[in-house]
A and B are shown apart, each in its own frame.
Chain A
């Protein structure tokens, strides 16, 4: 019996159910298509396996992993089709954290937008603010002062460290190294303490704003950064001993969740997932933005594309970020930390009491916002998870006409079915962890 409702185009039905289609209603040809859909490979490239003949519905079991499962890093639900303990098909089901941030963005002014976008990837909030500010500045046609750019780079690199430290913690915990969990959070706290000193907040800073940053660095920030740069490397060496040298950890990650170069490119994977397959693609080096072309750092690549490579890449990227942070401390110029444009930057608090003009500018900026010239732009930067893009359209008004964030986690999740296929259920946890998805950014 064929279910005729499944043959109608999705637009005419109740938009389709987010479920796996049962094997009984799929012919081998359709299953190839289905495999293509689930494996995210085109029909021609999908492995020609006659799954329909090999497995009947009685032998396989569909099991839901999530959305409430500690190892799924938030509210990620996976539908797994299992043959015994072997994973056949996987379908990630997302949207549990969807709050319509792109729609909200159209209701907020460019001044308010920072508080919205910073909540997307909540483990790397400064990157969200940075990419939005860069997109808005491109439409405005303003150049931020060099010091503001260097401060942004410093904060972003430290944010990369804190984000990767959290990956170390959760990756360790998912694989049974519970002490790693505590260590990762402990070290991340030292980075967050620096963020709190600079921006006043540990997370969701709204520190990088259109036209510069919210405040200058505090006195003695060099010592704070250098302290971090001195204290972190020995800790990273400890992690290296604790995890890299640990046979259980290696057994559980080596050769697990392998992705080839062709698959990674076809699935639009970026960041550590792409680099683990041996492709040295890092926007900081390959499409330099800000002043990354003046810095000396290495792009870490893997060779096997497995979970262990993705772990090792992140561990070494932290070392590179520390190297970058040291160089930034040396190169930090003096000067203004935000652009002196009255239509973009609010006047200092003291001026408001003395100058009528400053009061008007302040009032106009915070009630009406800044007028951004008509246009559209796409800006991409390298976030800890890959290419973070911001597509911004302005109709000349004070609010974005359309703000689209290209979240690396959202796209990287598509690699899960390919990495999971043929693996064990127990490996699923290691694989999800190695993708390091942040659901706030996936669902936005």
Chain B
């Protein structure tokens, strides 16, 4: 009944690729998802000891077919330098996912072969899923009531 709980691992930015390489060698053959969270307005989230909270967090989901298991890898990415190595050479399937994260969250994936906008128009400014990016409003033109006099 209950959903199989995935293992959650925190890795630092420096050992991001090396750790994921180790998971790949351990049988996690598929990268099912890459996404990012902007914790700008929620800085005090609970994290294990030794992990310093940063503004961004990149979350990678890996799947192993045999044995059947999942792992979720969370990496802190600082606001001053929002960049991370690309996983493209390990998992080519992350190509579109990393582009999506770059497009909507503005995290640069170093050595990504084709890091361009994927969902937003290519001349769009800003990264919409960041918390300091407002939802925006459609301008509405209100007309003054017709002069009845």
Chain A residues at the B interface, C-beta cutoff of 8 Å: 9-11, 14-18, 33-34, 36-38, 40-45, 94-95, 98, 100, 102-104, 107, 134, 138, 143, 149, 265-270, 279, 281, 286-291, 374, 376, 378-380, 387, 389, 391, 393, 395, 401-402, 404, 406, 410-411, 413-414, 443-444
Contacts and interface: CB of A to CB of B under 8 A. Distances in A.
A414 B95 contact: yes
B53 interface: no
Contacts of B78: none
Interface centre among A268, A289, A290 (most CB of B within 10 A): A268
5 contacts: A16-B116, A103-B128, A268-B94, A289-B4, A406-B32
B17 to A, nearest CB: 13
Contact of A411 (B96, B108, B123): B96
Nearest to B68: A286
A230 to B, nearest CB: 30
Contacts of B122: 14-18
Given A11-B108, A378-B6, A98 B113 contact: no
B104 A33 contact: no
B117 A102 contact: no
B58 to A, nearest CB: 11
Given A265-B30, A286-B68, A15 B124 contact: yes
B33 A42 contact: no
A265 B29 contact: yes
B37 interface: yes
A290 B1 CA distance: 4
B93 A266 contact: yes
Contacts of B113: 33-34, 36-37
B119 A95 contact: yes
Contact of B116 (A18, A134, A268, A444): A18
Interface in B10-44: 29-33, 35, 37-38, 41-42
Interface residues on B, range: 35 or more
A173 to B, nearest CB: 27
Nearest to A40: B92
Given A266-B92, A286-B65, A389-B61, 6 more contacts: A100-B128, A102-B129, A103-B135, A268-B31, A289-B3, A378-B59
Contacts of B123: 14-15
A33, A103, A104, A279, most chain B CB atoms within 10 A? A103
A444 B103 CA distance: 13
Interface in B47-93: 59, 61, 65, 68, 70, 72, 88-93
B32 A270 contact: yes
A389 B6 CA distance: 13
Contacts of A286: 65, 68
Interface in B88-122: 88-97, 100, 102-104, 108, 113-122
Contacts of B29: 265
A287 B104 CA distance: 30
